[in-house]
């Protein structure tokens, strides 16, 4: 478990990247409690992103998909609807 001060200064990503493990960094937009759509947009280019929301259910579904799909392996991305 990563301690709270580490989370706030950005070192957590370096810890993950340097771990030697397979990883995907998932950064959801603002979370809501709406039912999931079953689909998300995954973005690595954030130049045109201005806000957005996503359901907790869709975040959970996306994270679970990463266990069996290496499309985003070793990458950091933002997910939104």
**Residue 56 belongs to what domain range?**
23-80
Q: Could you tell me if residue 2 is inside a domain?
A: no
Q: Could you tell me if residue 4 is inside a domain?
A: no
Q: Could you tell me if residue 46 is inside a domain?
A: yes
Residue range 18-60, pLDDT digits in tens: 999 999 999 999 999 999 998 899 999 878 778 899 999 999 9
Confidence tier at 75 by pLDDT (50, 70, 90): very high
pTM as predicted: 0.80
Backbone angles phi, psi at 26, to 5 degrees: -110, 120
d(CA 58, CA 61): 5
Q: Which residue has the tokens 């950091």?
A: 76
Q: Could you tell me if residue 13 is inside a domain?
A: no
Tokens of 18: 């340097």
Residue range 25-35, pLDDT digits in tens: 999 999 999 99
């Amino acid at each position: 478990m990563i301690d709270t001060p580490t989370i706030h200064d950005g070192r957590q990503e370096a810890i993950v990247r340097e771990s030697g493990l397979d990883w995907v960094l998932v950064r959801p937009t603002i979370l809501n409690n709406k039912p999931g759509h079953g689909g998300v947009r995954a973005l690595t280019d954030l130049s045109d992103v201005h806000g957005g929301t996503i359901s907790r259910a869709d975040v959970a579904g996306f994270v679970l998909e990463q266990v069996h799909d290496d499309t985003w392996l070793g990458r950091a991305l933002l997910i939104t609807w």
